[in-house]
Amino acid sequence: MTRSEQSEHEADVLIKAALHILQVKGDSGFTVNDVLLEAGLRTRAFYRHFASKEDLVIAAFTEGAEAEAMRLRRRMAGASGPFEGVVAWIDARLELGFDQRVAANLRPLSQEAERAQRRFPAHLKLAFDRMLAPLIEQLQAGQHDGTFADLSPAEDALAIHQVVWGVVEQRWSGFPLRYKETRKQVLRFCLGGLGVDASAMEPTAHQPGDARP
């Protein structure tokens, strides 16, 4: 293994150690020492790659965002058009609040990233943009074919994200939201903002594994 490969492997080990700790400890966070013990590395190894714990969180969140973007694209792959694609993106993101199996990996990482956001907002925005990219693509396609009216794809994608993420955070905080009613309200609000006729706003979707009717 070359020195470059060794360095890349070492950084990957640290990131995976941080992710594993977050999965085990949940949103209680972690320390640099926790990561070093999990990774079996020394302090010098950590600071060869990361200037601080927050740097490691950003790297881990970026990796998590890549995985989430891939999951979103898989869920959207069967969409027959921009309308269905936007609905699939919303449904997939709502799963984070209503299906513990889906949320298990991203929830603690997202909460840890929020604590780092005050110092590194621009870095975390780049990670969030990766998750928004599939939605923006569908909005652009819908703007082109006339599915959506009066559209600003990047800004509207962010607005949809904020609506959906608000629901996810409420669920994580223990709010007893019901899946069917919540999904209906979110779709009506988000799709209505895109100029979609109300009669088209009742698309079906599979219900998350641990959601309640």
Question: What are the residue boundaries of the structural domains of the chain, listed by start?
Answer: 1-50, 53-200
E strands within 63-195? none
Tell me which residue of 124, 130, 177 sits closest to 157, measured CA to CA: 130
Question: What is the pTM assigned to this prediction?
Answer: 0.84
Torsion of CA 29, 94, 191, 178, to 10 degrees: -120
Q: What residue has token string 């009066």? A: 150
Q: What residue has token string 């559209």? A: 151
pLDDT tens per residue, the chain (213 residues)?
A: 666 656 678 889 999 998 888 877 765 567 899 999 999 999 999 999 998 888 888 888 888 889 899 999 999 999 999 999 999 999 999 999 999 888 877 787 787 777 766 676 777 788 889 999 999 999 999 999 999 988 899 999 999 999 999 999 999 999 999 999 999 999 999 999 998 876 666 665 556 655 544
Check residue 114 and give its pLDDT: 75
Same fold, 1-50 and 53-200: no
Check residue 213 and give its pLDDT: 43
- Classified by CATH at the fold level, domain 1-50 comes out as Arc Repressor Mutant, subunit A (1.10.10)
| Dist CA 94 CA 164 (whole Å) | 6
| Dist CA 50 CA 44 (whole Å) | 10
Burial class of residue 78 (count of CB atoms within 10 Å of its CB; 0-12, 13-18, 19+) = exposed
Check residue 117 and give its pLDDT: 67
For the record, the structure tokens of 5 come out as 């490969």
Q: What residue has token string 């799709």? A: 191
Check residue 200 and give its pLDDT: 64
Check residue 28 and give its pLDDT: 58
Count of CA atoms in the C-beta half-sphere (13 A) of 34: 16
Check residue 212 and give its pLDDT: 45
CATH 1.20.120.420 fits 53-200, yes or no: no
| Dist CA 207 CA 213 (whole Å) | 8
